[in-house]
Structure 1
Amino acid sequence: MPVTYHRAAAAEIAPETLYRMLWLRLRVFVVEQRAAYPELDGRDIEPGAELMWAADGDEVLSTLRILRDPAQMRIGRVATDAAARRRGIAAELMRRAVARCEERAPGLPIVLDAQSQLADWYGRFGFEISGPPFSEDDIPHVPMRRPGATT
């Protein structure tokens, strides 16, 4: 089956699909990366939050979320199933997320907190390191920012 790409608010997603998305995030962040933290932080259901995912049939391969913070858009919780990595699926999902942020809030910057080893990967989408490194759950991170378009 071809990979399909989707976007919706959490309340609009079929329960089985939402479960698969959240399970993928838990598998990647909590189990694989051994980061015991409150993965379900309440932000997925904030007004204006959107979840995006790539699927092969019912199987969720990659997921992320888009949030509207004051004066900026935020991409986070980017997770890809180990078996789906290095196939360009997450990159396509990221391109779509950047485009969606620009569509929703033209001219606003887009920010994210990247695991340090992925900073170059996010750089492919126009993100630049925007502050000092920090540790989150013993995983090195860097804040990154993609400037908004100037008019």
Structure 2
Amino acid sequence: MRILDRYQCGPLAPMAGWQPDRTVILAVRALLTDILEGFAEDILPGECDLPDGIGAVVTCDRPGGVMRPVVYVRADQPTGLRADLWGFCTALAVLACEGRFSLPAGECLFIGNERSPVRRVGAALLGALILQWLGRKPGDCDFPIYTWAGQAGTPRAAA
């Protein structure tokens, strides 16, 4: 049994029915910027030199001492993958800002774009439930998390 099967109805059912991926992406971004007072941006092709296999960047900002979630997602990926990345990254950024996930001040997490099924409680489940509540049937919403390996220029798996 997949863990998401437990959450198909009830308060986590889609609040406005099933929606297209683009609508859900806009809703997740609005959640980040309007409700959580964070920052959400697309990474346009040529705008940032991310290695292949990296789909998003997550960090926290501390304006005025208040932690705020910051998420950047590559715009040159398929819409379904982008939607799942937005959900996962939003959840991960919120957990990091709340201190539930270790993220040293000023550091970024790099999120791979290889999806896997949600198998446990954490950012993947929270991200999938956010997507479901906003109207997307979440698929595989767990992604690898990397930190940057100093000057070597290659990502390494986060602990």
TM-score using structure 2 length = 0.29
Structure with the larger RCO, 1 or 2 (CA within 8 Å, 6+ apart):
2
Bigger fraction of residues in strand: 1
TM-score using structure 1 length = 0.30
